Amino acid sequence: MSASSSDVKFEIGHVLFIDIVGYSKLLLHEQSQRIQELREIVRATEQFRLAEAQGKLMRLPTGDGGALVFRTSPEAPVLCALEISNALKTHPELHVRMGIHSGPVSEVADLNEQVNMAGAGVNIAQRVMDCGDAGHILLSKHVAEDLEQSARWQPQLHDLGECEIKHGDRLHLVNFYTQELGNPEAPTKLRQTLRKRRPALITALILLTAAGVGYYFFSQRSAFKSPGKSIAVLPFENLSRDPDNAYFAEGMQDEILARLSKIADLKVISRTSTQRFKSAPADLREIAKQLGVANVLEGSVQKAADQVRVNVQLINALNDAHLWGDIYDRKLTDIFAVESDIAKTIADTLQAKLTGAEEQLISARPTSDLTAYDLYLKGRLLWSKRGGENLRQAIGFYEQAITRDPNYALAYSGVAEAYALLPQYTGAAPGDAYAKAKTAALKALQLDDKLAEAHTALALVIASEFDIAGAIREFQRAIVLNPNYATAHHWYGVGPLSAVGRFDEAIAEAKRAIELDPLSPIMNANLGEILLWAHRPDEAMAQFRKTLEIDPTFYYAHEVLGQALQLKGDIPAAITEYTRAQQLSDFVEIRVRLATAKAQSGDNGAANQMLTELEELSRHRYVSPYLRALLYVSLGNRDEAIRWLGHGIADHQGYEIAFIKVDPFLDPLRGDPRFEALVQKVVGAEHK
């Protein structure tokens, strides 16, 4: 059972505020006549009658007009306004302006026990209307962003910018008009605002001109246009007395996010990006701006024995409006119902459409064993942190969860995703890790074929087996099942699509992944890598530098920036970046890249020395054949380079070899029949 955090229950209302312009100058009998005419027009509209019949309408009368609060959709007040505007054509004596806003409203009783609607939704709608002249249908920016999701409304939306209201505050307005209805002129109040701001605007233009090149970069980061159906689930605060329960709070955040991400009509930001705002954020608008969303969910979790309290609140970060909040006091056995209820309520509040299949997915109960669920949460937390030791520990927790519940599909999926990443973070032989990943993914899908995570892990593995067509099918299936799963878009773009040279699609998928996980260093770096494979080194370097803005200590961004510089022929700069990467990580690949750059500058001894080191290293651990091939290419030894690539392809050793068709560092081998035959072995099965 849930208990509200407040006696006043707020809901989202879609408010149409209506006002007769010049009402106070009319004689008393004229005022009465105009009000009566306007009420008859409003009551005759289809939207009014439909909403009233459904019990989805509240009326809030005022002296010279009134407000209609629709509980249906943001389109309802717009459609109603158009009907009113059309009817006013036959009433030239009526000069009416209208304002529309969606926001929190609440039923409140006055001293006479009359129920009215109050709240920010009503107040802001009135302020929007106050900015207009006769004939205007003005919308708040929030409503306009909701309408922009439909191509039907886009031609009628005309951005006005900000209008100054009371106390120096400003509202961002959009003028809604068609060829026949509405008022296309800029509102008088807006023109007054612009006159006041003109000197400041001139100064700003001068400053912007002086900013030059720097303006472009920062304008890209500050452009803030978020769809209304977008959300970031911020890290939940752990209020439990035992700090060791922190994993449970983070797990709750992750599980709610995972359920929301299955709703195609929502944009849901991945956990990787939201984790950066773990310490009680104060400026929600700035966070939403960085993440590219309109709404955020905050929460706290308190776990004690078999009881759990979950406190959540949904906030529109654009105007700091409280959209919904609740407190759930439940037994741990009800935790899945709590997660599902929160996800459904958020979807309903943001007016996201749910298909029947999506409703089933977000209502799923993954296991009946709470200890298994506990172990899974611990594994998921470690997996999200990456790193060799974290991945190994994650696998251990997942396997314990499977021991508790052998039918726990998500736990098998977790094993698959962890093993799929293990070679990249530990240097482990890919053959063994990928085999275990494939077995676990297939078992997960046998238990539940709707797990996007399992399809994603399976796709990565079979791409390493050079089954490009199969990998593409699995990635596409994963994205259909969970359109907000950033990892699926990420691996799909940087994986098989890039491997076969379908760069436009690969770049689109990589950008979609970044849209869902904007602060992920690896996703940003991999977009640059795709651009590099597409022979667009300047764009790639810009992307790598953007990645380093996000995380200056990310070794891989320095490494791939070094690759771009090396391909451009700036060897000293490439060596500098490789050296920085080496200072941040001990991955052998960085030392190999550094040796190839030195060889390109004439120091063949560095590459030969590195080959000797790899030979010694291979006696103790796995060494990718691709690394030896790179060194031989830098030395101009085509025969040995092709021989080592052949070894890697024959044994399916090394994910890097999957990119043999597009890897620019292998360009010196192109045209050799032996090399072209190897390319066909890797990508020739794409259309089978």
Task: For residue 140, give the nearest of 159, 164, 118, 168 by alpha carbon.
Answer: 159
CA pair distance 97, 135, nearest whole angstrom: 5
Confidence (pLDDT) at 571: 96
Confidence (pLDDT) at 25: 76
pLDDT at 211 over 60: no
CA pair distance 451, 442, nearest whole angstrom: 11
Task: For residue 491, give the nearest of 526, 446, 467, 533 by alpha carbon.
Answer: 526
pLDDT at 687 over 60: no
- Is the sign of the CA dihedral 381, 387, 390, 394 positive or negative? positive
Please say whether the beta carbons of 335 and 320 come within 8 A.
no
Would you give the distance in Å from CA 611 to the centre of its chain? 43
The neighbour count for residue 522, using CB atoms within 10 Å, is 21
Instruction: Dig out the tokens for 307 from the structure.
Output: 């009881």
Q: Look at the chain and count its residues.
A: 688
Confidence (pLDDT) at 60: 56
pLDDT digits (tens, 9 = 90+) for 624-674: 999 999 999 999 999 999 999 999 898 776 678 889 999 999 999 999 999
pLDDT digits (tens, 9 = 90+) for 535-575: 999 999 999 999 999 999 999 999 999 999 999 999 999 99
What domains are there in the chain, each with its CATH number? 2-200 (3.30.70.1230), 230-362 (3.40.50.10610)
Confidence (pLDDT) at 84: 93
Residues 6 or more apart from 235 whose CB is under 8 A from it?
249, 250, 253, 274, 275, 277, 278
Please say whether the beta carbons of 292 and 230 come within 8 A.
yes
Q: Which residue has the higher pLDDT, 426 or 61?
A: 426
CA pair distance 235, 311, nearest whole angstrom: 12
pLDDT digits (tens, 9 = 90+) for 173-194: 899 998 889 988 888 877 665 4
Confidence (pLDDT) at 107: 64
CA pair distance 280, 358, nearest whole angstrom: 31
Rg over alpha carbons for the chain, rounded to the nearest Å, is 30
Q: What percent of the chain has pLDDT over 90?
A: 41
Instruction: Lowest mean pLDDT of 137-146, 648-657, 673-682, name the range.
Output: 648-657
pLDDT interval class at 319 (50, 70, 90): confident
Confidence (pLDDT) at 72: 79
Instruction: Dig out the tokens for 349 from the structure.
Output: 């509040």
Report, as an integer, the average pLDDT of 58-86.
Answer: 80
Please say whether the beta carbons of 58 and 107 come within 8 A.
yes
Confidence (pLDDT) at 118: 65
pLDDT at 476 over 90: yes
What's the start-to-end Cα distance of the chain, in Å? 54
Confidence (pLDDT) at 432: 86
CA pair distance 175, 298, nearest whole angstrom: 33
Q: Residue 104 forms beta bridges with which residues?
A: 12
Give the angle subtended at the CA of 251 by the CAs of 245 and 255, to the nearest 5°. 155
Q: Which residue has the higher pLDDT, 262 or 305?
A: 262
Would you give the distance in Å from CA 54 to the centre of its chain? 35
Confidence (pLDDT) at 123: 80
Report, as an integer, the average pLDDT of 496-505.
Answer: 93
Please write down the long-range contacts of 358-361, taking CB distance under 8 Å and 24 or more positions apart. Answer: 358/262, 358/263, 358/264, 361/259, 361/262, 361/450, 361/481
pLDDT at 616 over 80: yes
Q: Which residue has the higher pLDDT, 208 or 451?
A: 451
pLDDT at 223 over 50: no
pLDDT at 686 over 60: no
Task: For residue 488, give the nearest of 504, 477, 499, 502 by alpha carbon.
Answer: 477
Q: Residue 554 to residues 520, 545, 580: CA-CA distances in angstroms?
A: 11, 11, 10
Q: Residue 234 to residues 17, 21, 377, 613: CA-CA distances in angstroms?
A: 34, 45, 17, 46
pLDDT interval class at 407 (50, 70, 90): very high
Confidence (pLDDT) at 191: 63
pLDDT at 202 over 90: no
Confidence (pLDDT) at 543: 95
pLDDT interval class at 231 (50, 70, 90): very high
